[in-house]
Amino acid sequence: MNFEVIREYLPLYQEAAVLTVKLGVLGIIFALLIGLACALVQYYKVPVIRRIVAAYIEISRNTPLMIQLFFIYYGLPKIGIRTSPEVCGVAGLAFLGGSYMAEAFRSGLNSVEAIQTESAFSLGMNRVQAFFYVILPQAAATSMPPVVANVIFLLKETSIFSAVSLMDLMFTAKDLMGIYHDTTECLFLLVVFYLIILLPVSILGSLLERRLRYAGFGA
């Protein structure tokens, strides 16, 4: 292990880490929004759109991110839609993550017993109130563990961004290894940087899960 080399590579890894986090976070935010929208469509059984959502979820969950990125980055330009690698990375993550998040939210929503809604109505709440004050808080609690797992999963999935020429952590490591061949140092830095990004997320996630562990009351 040559620490001189490590010091030299640090700025490059930092740059890559910033890109990884930036695109990862953006992708995850969009994934959460898409997921929530899809889950609501399924929960309230909105006609027609429900079928489209179901099809999207199946397509998105049953194709690898690599293929989705290839499609967006190399496929769409053939029909005139050209995107930058960054947009493509975020879109890919959102497309993949949306379905996973949808399933996580759906499981949460479905776990809230019908009697809760009925009770809310009998207390004089309307549908919106019942959703925001009764259903959502309980659903969020149940959804939290899978949502956190998805967030970590999506952050890790950024490691295949090299397919669309994004200099994320993984590609930076591979690239440096290809030029200077300091494999040990490059891989060491790679592990360290992923841990720096992912460990706080995982710790924050478990804290959040504990905070929200009030669902199931009265179920």
Partner 1 sequence: MKKHNLCKAVTVLSFSLALTLGASFLAMADEKAIYRTLDEIKESGVINIGVFSDKYPFGYVDENGDYQGYDVYFAERIGADLGVEINYVSTEAANRVEYLETGKVDIILANFTVTADRAEKVDFALPYMNVALGVVSPEGRVIESLEDLGEKDRMIVISGTTAEIYLTENNPEVRLQKYDTYANAKNALENGNGVAWANDNTEVIAFAIQNPGYVVGIPELGSQDTIAPAVTKGNESLLSWLNDEIVSLGEENFFHADYEATLLEIYGADYEDTLVVEGGKTAE
- Contacts to partner 1 by CB under 8 A: 1, 73-74, 77-78, 82, 85, 162-163, 165, 167, 171, 174-175, 177-181, 183-184, 187-188, 191-192, 195, 199, 203, 206-207, 210
Q: Which is nearer to partner 1, 192 or 219 (CB)?
A: 192
Q: Which letter does DSSP use for residue 194 in this model?
A: H
- For residue 175, the minimal CB distance to partner 1 (Å) is 5
Q: Do the Cβ atoms of 83 and 91 come closer than 8 Å? A: yes
Extract the tokens encoding 53: 């959502």
- For residue 155, the minimal CB distance to partner 1 (Å) is 16
Among 163, 149, 4, smallest CA distance to 68 is for 163
- For residue 56, the minimal CB distance to partner 1 (Å) is 25
Q: Do the Cβ atoms of 187 and 170 come closer than 8 Å? A: no
Among 120, 138, 142, smallest CA distance to 129 is for 120
Among 143, 172, 177, smallest CA distance to 159 is for 172
- For residue 91, the minimal CB distance to partner 1 (Å) is 15
As a whole number of angstroms, the distance between CA 182 and CA 3 comes to 11
Q: Which is nearer to partner 1, 52 or 207 (CB)?
A: 207
Q: What region does 165 belong to: left with phi over 0, alpha with psi -120 to 50, or beta?
A: left
Q: Which is nearer to partner 1, 61 or 181 (CB)?
A: 181
As a whole number of angstroms, the distance between CA 168 and CA 14 comes to 10
CB count within 10 Å of CB 53 equals: 22
Among 160, 177, 9, smallest CA distance to 85 is for 160
Q: Which is nearer to partner 1, 75 or 216 (CB)?
A: 75
Q: Do the Cβ atoms of 184 and 6 come closer than 8 Å? A: no
